[in-house]
Amino acid sequence: MTKQFFGTDGVRGTVGSDPMTADFAMRLASAAAQVLVPAGGTVVIGKDTRLSGYMFESALEAGFVAAGADVLLIGPLPTPGIARLTQEFDADLGVVISASHNAYFDNGIKFFDRSGSKLTDEIERKIEEHLKNPAITLESKALGKAKRIDTARTRYQEFCADSIPKGTDLEGIKIVFDGANGAGYKVGPRTLGNLGADVIPIGCSPNGKNINDGCGSTEPDLLQLTVPALKADVGVALDGDGDRLVMVDESGQLIDGDQLLYILATARHRDGQLQGPVVGTVMSNLGLEIALKAQNIAFKRARVGDRYVLETLRETGGVIGGETSGHMIVLDKATTGDGLISALQVLAIMKKSGKKLSELVSGMSKYPQTMINVRTKSSLNTDSCSEIQVAVADAENELADTGRVVLRASGTEPVIRVMVEGEDFDQVVSIANRLATVVADAAG
């Protein structure tokens, strides 16, 4: 059964439009409680820094309490921090109010089960079945209660700091930290500073509307200028909810998720600590696969979405995976993608090796890659469209064994992503433009 509300990462949309309304949030809480929270159970609720977070926090609190669940209100904290606290407080459910890397006028609601993992498709479908009914309100004696947790931030900071080898510090490393004016704006600089780093924060002054606005992992231009200008060693950028990471080397060059995977995997491999294959996605750069193969490191591709990377890691016994966008999963350190923990792993490698970030990534050459987003008015199945399939086959024949073509429908908006990569940049761009035209014509 196709899901109506849940996408690749929870429920998401423009605030004030269906489904991102206060009424829907309350009904969603009620439905989730009936599926996942036993009588008298506990729910942890956190959020990022969006203005609408206050509204959704109140609506979710009302829905859960009315359904008999006790609620622990965490306030602004990175998404992976909520996953961790769900475990730490032995809660039945973790809830994050965030639209991740989107602008402030969007928001979303995503869930973690009691193990700190994202919900399965099956559980999300069960919740949607309950959404067909009105929210429930139990009698007074069965209602839940709510309280705020003041120690959440420091608990998460300590957890992140403990993810690097005991005795490791960041003394002597000058870091520009970009918090995207989002959920990591406090915990990021404080964790790095507590470990001895010289931290220069940018994008750490949220006002409810400036999240991901000209800052963070999706817009790292300012970070790329600031790092060399201040003669810093490295730049670290999270997205609005703190589960994505990109970094910047000493010269201002962007280091994306594929390159960070290479650094983490090769360091583990050298130390004899790499378990299972490295897991990327169908969108991961071909250069990553080739560079890992040269080191005799196995590589597998999952569907796009960190939940699918996680599933593949668990199926194959791997511990390191991620996406080009910077969703990094270090499974023996956290149950979900965590930008701050991933950054700490890279920084610890820099400190131990004495090498600059540019040196650590020098063994991987990225293949030219371009992606064009084709907006559609309605859903389009590219696999069943003969015109598109012929065009893809022609493109693959032209690239031969030196490149790839991927067409993928976005999980959060009506867009078909046309990705082409290969050895020759001009050829890649030409093929991508031709395919995008075919897809646009097919979409009407």
Active-site residues: which are they? 100
**Dihedral sign from CA coordinates of 6, 8, 11, 12:** negative
Candidates 174, 369, 362, 161; CA nearest to 263 is 362
Q: How far apart are CA 312 and CA 208, in angstroms?
A: 36
Q: How far apart are CA 118 and CA 127, in angstroms?
A: 14
Provide DSSP, 405-424. EEEEE-SSSSEEEEEEEES-
Query: For residue 126, with 0-12 CB atoms within 10 Å meaning exposed, 13-18 middle and 19 or more buried, which class applies?
Result: middle
Give the pairing of strands 328-330 and 320-322.
antiparallel
The pair of structure tokens assigned to 268 is: 């583990």
Query: For residue 31, with 0-12 CB atoms within 10 Å meaning exposed, 13-18 middle and 19 or more buried, which class applies?
Result: buried
DSSP H/E element including 391: helix 386-399
DSSP reduced 3-state for 403: strand
Query: For residue 370, with 0-12 CB atoms within 10 Å meaning exposed, 13-18 middle and 19 or more buried, which class applies?
Result: middle
**Dihedral sign from CA coordinates of 147, 153, 155, 160:** positive
Q: How far apart are CA 257 and CA 324, in angstroms?
A: 4
Q: How far apart are CA 440 and CA 387, in angstroms?
A: 11
Q: How far apart are CA 30 and CA 26, in angstroms?
A: 6
Give the pairing of strands 299-302 and 278-281.
parallel
Could you tell me where the beta strands, DSSP code E, fall in 288-336?
299-302, 320-322, 328-330
Single-letter amino acid code for the residue at 325: S
